[in-house]
Structure 1
Amino acid sequence: MIEILSPSEITRARATGALVGRILQTMRERTQVGTNLLEIDEWTKDMILEAGAKSCYVDYAPSFGDGPFGHWICTSVNDAVLHGMPRDQVLADGDLLTLDLAVILDGIASDAAISFVVGQERDPEDTALIETTRRALAAGIEAAGPDARLGDVSHAIGQVLSVAGYPINMDFGGHGIGTTMHQDPHVANDGRPGRGLRLRPGMLLALEPWIMVDTDELVTDPEDGWTLRSVTGARTAHIEHTIAITADGAEIMTLAPGASS
């Protein structure tokens, strides 16, 4: 299903997106060396419930997961890149953490993710990984707009990732979003320009480039049946925004307060 949202629904989408951006910003500010992933999950739960919103993850049970996810936010550390299930793990200096969050507020969903390094230790490879993913997302957003093709967006993302030398996995990518979290169309992180669905004002898309340093292959963590890790144990990064296609281009819905991108 591909939804075209009304102007009033787009207004509600802005409120949902602002909430997602604010929660992710707050989690980043609170997270430090010694923070437990389960603390992040609990803080997120508190903010979602306080806002009168609903988690998209607690009851989420797709075919590729091992039963309902049962948590409020995805916490992926180092070699984990997608669907990181919160566990009793304390973060160390230099850990690369991805937080992925989706909620529904007033009937409209929004989805975003951030990657950052915890503490003071910085590996230049981690910095490059995160910055490349940010640039890929920015390129995808720039390519999105009325009458653009879905392939234009995928190609823009893929060009940044491939030129930087990172392998691209095509199994998981972005997606349509609206009254539910996951909708058509699938937005691959590489593609051919001029091909695919023509974008229309009122569409919401969650764009989410993600990469692993030296592989495009994933393995599911056998302990939780959810967390997807790089098969080589390589570090990873994942950054996501929900955008609305407008008459003029694309509007980012999930910016944190005071953020510009």
Structure 2
Amino acid sequence: MGWRDRGVQIKTPEQVALMRRAGLVVGRTLEMVCDLARPGLTTGELDAAAEKHIRQLGATPSFLGYHGFTGSLCLSVNDEVVHGMPGRRVLAEGDLVSIDCGAIVEGWHGDAATTVALGEVPDEVVALNRVTEEAMWRGIAAAGLGGRVTDISHAVENHVRASGDFEIVEDYTGHGIGSEMHQPPDVPNLGKPGRGPRLVPGLALAVEPMVTLGSADVDVLDDDWTVVTRDGSWAAHHEHTFTLTPDGGTWVLTALDGGRSMLESLGVTYGGD
């Protein structure tokens, strides 16, 4: 079975360059929103600022209008895991806010997320957020030419399991990305290594662990979007889009530095420009 039969899209270097442009828009927008976020603002106000910023940078929001979604960001607070719908909710001191952003440049997508605490939060919440971000980077670092997609999954799971009493949400996964925001293959956040499509140059993947302090069981609210933990425990979510270069380097298309600092700290060859 070939790549085309699997529905896996392999990008040319020129297409990857466009994805990098989209990724930089996403990275800069997340940076702006993190700086802006504070108690007293509504999630709708953050979303409006993000849409304006994305458009000022010459891109289009990926999420706005996607299957009827009404925001340019997914903003998920505390027990909301992912896909939080922006609106009238007022952010408060001590909230944990996941900010997920997508942008399109000339038809090519970038997608990334980060989670930030507004003020002081309990130590267990600090640890949850740190471990989730670390697990994302361990997953990206585990990707190498000739490997397979679940090498990423296995590395994510191993780090979370070794880091404390956390749970991994299984119902939602990372994904392929390119001329569409969501493409094959899925990138699970747990599982055995050595399975799934081979990792080759031009394959772009979004790695996005979602980790909770309690049960990994989730429900979807009546807005048909917002995913919450069933037991009310808090969750964190981190995401980056990356690709592998022909020389075996790793390039994180949505990180402002291309992922160089984190990759090199993990002993991974940086493959960006």
TM range (shorter): over 0.9
Rounded Cα–Cα distance in structure 2 between residues aligned with 1:5 and 1:109: 12
The equivalent residue for 2:20 is 14
The equivalent residue for 1:174 is 174
- Aligned residue identity for 1:151: T
Instruction: Out of 231-240 and 2-11, give the one that drifted further.
Output: 2-11
- The CA deviation at 1:169 is 2.4
- The CA deviation at 1:203 is 0.7
Rounded Cα–Cα distance in structure 1 between residues aligned with 2:47 and 2:104: 17
Q: Does 1:24 align with 2:30?
A: yes
Q: Could you tell me whether the CA contact under 8 Å between 1:217 and 1:230 is conserved in 2?
A: yes
Rounded Cα–Cα distance in structure 2 between residues aligned with 1:238 and 1:249: 25
Q: Cα deviation per residue 1:83-103 (whole Å; 9 max; x = unaligned)?
A: 000120111111000000111
TM-score (norm 2): 0.89
- Which structure has more RCO (C-alpha within 8 Å, separation ≥ 6)? 1
Q: Could you tell me whether the CA contact under 8 Å between 1:144 and 1:199 is conserved in 2?
A: yes
| SS of match in other structure, 2:45 | helix
- The CA deviation at 1:217 is 0.6
The equivalent residue for 1:133 is 132
Rounded Cα–Cα distance in structure 2 between residues aligned with 1:117 and 1:211: 15
| SS of match in other structure, 2:167 | coil
- Aligned residue identity for 1:216: A
Rounded Cα–Cα distance in structure 2 between residues aligned with 1:46 and 1:241: 22
| SS of match in other structure, 1:171 | coil
Q: Could you tell me whether the CA contact under 8 Å between 2:95 and 2:121 is conserved in 1?
A: no
The equivalent residue for 1:217 is 217
Q: Does 1:147 align with 2:146?
A: yes
| SS of match in other structure, 1:129 | helix
- The CA deviation at 1:148 is 1.1
Q: Against the structure 1 CA distance between its residues 127 and 87, is the aligned structure 2 distance closer, same or farther, given a 3 Å change threshold?
A: same
The equivalent residue for 2:113 is 113
- The CA deviation at 1:258 is 9.4
- The CA deviation at 1:160 is 1.0
Rounded Cα–Cα distance in structure 2 between residues aligned with 1:122 and 1:167: 19
Rounded Cα–Cα distance in structure 2 between residues aligned with 1:183 and 1:18: 20
Q: Could you tell me whether the CA contact under 8 Å between 1:146 and 1:245 is conserved in 2?
A: yes
Rounded Cα–Cα distance in structure 1 between residues aligned with 2:152 and 2:84: 26
Q: Does 1:46 align with 2:52?
A: yes
Q: Percent identity?
A: 38
- Aligned residue identity for 1:254: T
- Aligned residue identity for 1:161: V
Q: For the aligned residues, what is the CA RMSD? A: 1.4
TM-score (norm 1): 0.93
Q: Could you tell me whether the CA contact under 8 Å between 1:21 and 1:257 is conserved in 2?
A: no
Question: 4+ residue runs of structure 1 moved beyond 3 angstroms?
Answer: 256-261
Rounded Cα–Cα distance in structure 1 between residues aligned with 2:93 and 2:65: 32
Q: Could you tell me whether the CA contact under 8 Å between 1:241 and 1:252 is conserved in 2?
A: yes
- Aligned residue identity for 1:31: A
Rounded Cα–Cα distance in structure 2 between residues aligned with 1:99 and 1:235: 15
The equivalent residue for 1:65 is none
Q: Does 1:5 align with 2:4?
A: no
Q: Could you tell me whether the CA contact under 8 Å between 2:176 and 2:205 is conserved in 1?
A: yes
Rounded Cα–Cα distance in structure 1 between residues aligned with 2:92 and 2:171: 30
Rounded Cα–Cα distance in structure 1 between residues aligned with 2:87 and 2:52: 17
Rounded Cα–Cα distance in structure 2 between residues aligned with 1:3 and 1:184: 8
Rounded Cα–Cα distance in structure 1 between residues aligned with 2:138 and 2:20: 21
Rounded Cα–Cα distance in structure 2 between residues aligned with 1:37 and 1:169: 24
The equivalent residue for 2:266 is none
- Aligned residue identity for 2:225: W
